[in-house]
Structure 1
Amino acid sequence: MPGIFRRRWLAAGLILSATSWHPARSQDAPPLPGPPPGVSGFPDGGAMLPPGPDGSAPGITDPPGCTCGTRRGPGRWWWHRTQCKRHLQEHSLGYLEEFNEWPLGASLYAHGKTQVANGEAAQMVFFHYDFIDDTSRLNVRGTDKLIRVAAQLPTCFAPILVERTPATPGLDQGRRLALLNELAKGPFPVPVERVVIGPPISYGLNGQEATITYGSQLNWLQSGGGAGAGAFTSGAAGSFSASGLSGSAVFGR
């Protein structure tokens, strides 16, 4: 007898588990009656728009919400974090109605204009090697740069910067006054506030790098040219001095 009861309980449990996955059709609730004429109520929370000016049918706007649908369980959490449109719009994509796209030509022009402005500001810097050692006098390279800077002053409003000399206090102030005196001789007025002292905004070659670079160039010129020699200007081998580079092989112009 106990075995018969156990088999009956097991059969009843199997029947209940099978019917729980697929509910009987007889237990479904009857469909709700539609709204009466003239009433714009919707069970899904939508809103009825007024008819268009040409008498077209009104549209329905869905309320904002999650687009995960009827997913349940761990799959819904993964879908919501990686595929849900509403979640991605809130955290990374943004909303289409808030997106302001620049015209292609305007965006490219603004990008190029910024690069040109940065390049012009970098050319307004006078480094240590633009002056004779431990003096405020410009060398040949510095004099050529001063001519180019004076020609750019009416169109470029970047400050003229003199590289500071922390190892020799007061030398940078003397170089600043020397530049102001030279610029005062030109036709374009330059206020004293435009020539400043500070760290360079662009960094050139340091002493060791310059020695290696120019030494390699002179070796190529003295050997009659070799691999890559066509990129340099031929001429007699120049010598290095505090007054600037002599010869016709000069970089950075």
Structure 2
Amino acid sequence: MTTRSTADRTIGGPPRPAPIGMSGFSGGSIATEFAAELAPAYAPELNIVGVAAGGMPVDMAATIDYVDGSSEWALVLPYVMQGAARGFDLDLSPYLSDYGRDVMDRIADHCVSDGPRFPGLRLSQLLRPEYQDYRTIPGFARILTENHMGTGTPTAPLLFGAGNADGIGDGVIVAAGERELADEFCRRGVSVRYHEYPGANHLIAGALFVPAAQAFLMDRFAGAPLDNSCR
């Protein structure tokens, strides 16, 4: 005989799916946001009551262009290229300059947090002369398209958070991308609360987002009404 806890069933009725909340910031926001988009078709049986995502690279090309050549965050460029190439089974070697191959070899077994750093790096330094526009590299267009957020529509209430330290973004993420995605989901009928943190860089935005995400999800678990930004 199978038994269920009262948290998993209704009295005299069918089993009730346990409520699920999802949260992620920066790299974690990628998995969180795409999971929210895919869930209605991929796992409609899940009872997702709220999704909190912040520091989101909504448009990967915009993120790359924003950090390119920066003193602090250009270091992510080779790691992003390496990860995308591995994930999409793309051989980068035909497109890399000698310097680019050296950089890729140096980071091959590292994460951003513990690997070599390249302040001021430009993506063009990693590529051969005929591939200075990375968008022309076969395979990269597909990667950029499939990693653009907003192709699917979540059904759960959303919390988005973005830092804005320089009028563009938090040094890594372009704030307008998150604002526009929030507006687009609102137009599709999704409940969205959007927070922007003026003066906050990526790390500070993350520190501000975590307690906001926790409060948001606790309210969703409690069934509290949502004061969203769509109006």
Q: What TM-score does the superposition give when structure 2 sets the normalisation length?
A: 0.26
Higher relative contact order (CA 8 A, sep 6+): 2
Q: Which has more radius of gyration?
A: 1
Q: What TM-score does the superposition give when structure 1 sets the normalisation length?
A: 0.24
Which one has the bigger strand percentage? 2
